[in-house]
Amino acid sequence: MHSFSKFALLLLLVFPAPVGSIPLSAANPPVKQIASEQRDVIVWERSGGVAGICHRLTLQSTGRYTLEHCFRQQPIRQGQLSRSQFAPLQRYLARYNRFEWELSPPPNSADMFAMRYNFNGNGKRSPTVKDQEAINALLAEIASQAMQP
């Protein structure tokens, strides 16, 4: 084999043809990107109380949710938010940018819960304290409903 042929073969092995130059057949359609469509947009936690509970609610951009025990990382329930639950969240996600919110009980308080959430919105605005509390109330309601059998 000539040295040029060996070099050309080596180039083909190291640098295969660009993907764009290979025709796709109808039998092999391109793979749909799912990860960006189903990203986690809100992670909410409620912990504390006399029983020392910790629940985590993870919401995806598609409206899918998972409610789990934080410590055991064991799902309690998974499902799809209703339209009435998801619509206000979609508005918040479109309006507000990323932020974190936390509410800790006062020291020496009995049977109170700490709540916090990470919000990964696409908007440009920063929420007011009132908006953050409204989002928390909505998330707490969703978690409570998901706990019901």
Q: What is the pLDDT of residues 90-146, one digit of tens each?
A: 999 999 999 999 998 888 777 788 999 999 999 999 999 999 999 999 999 999 999
Residues in the chain: 149
Residue 68 has pLDDT above 90, yes or no: yes
- 142 — alpha (psi -120 to 50), left (phi > 0) or beta? alpha
Domains of the chain: which residue ranges? 33-147
CA angle (144 as vertex; 35, 86 as ends), nearest 5 = 45
- Give pLDDT tens digits for 28-54: 333 333 334 568 899 999 998 777 889
Which pTM does this prediction carry? 0.70
DSSP string, 63-119: SEEEEEETTTTEEEEEEE--HHHHHHHHHHHHHB-EEEEEE-PPTT-SS-EEEEEEE
Which residues neighbour 142 within 8 Å (Cβ) at sequence distance 6 or greater?
Answer: 57, 59, 65, 81, 85
Residue 81 has pLDDT above 90, yes or no: yes
Give the pLDDT score at 1. Answer: 52
Give the pLDDT score at 89. Answer: 95
For residue 75, which of 63, 64, 85 has the smallest C-alpha distance?
A: 64
Burial class (CB in 10 A: 0-12, 13-18, 19+), 93: buried
Strands 98-103 and 113-120: antiparallel
Question: Does the CA dihedral 73-81-114-127 come out positive or negative?
Answer: positive
Question: Does the CA dihedral 36-62-46-126 come out positive or negative?
Answer: positive
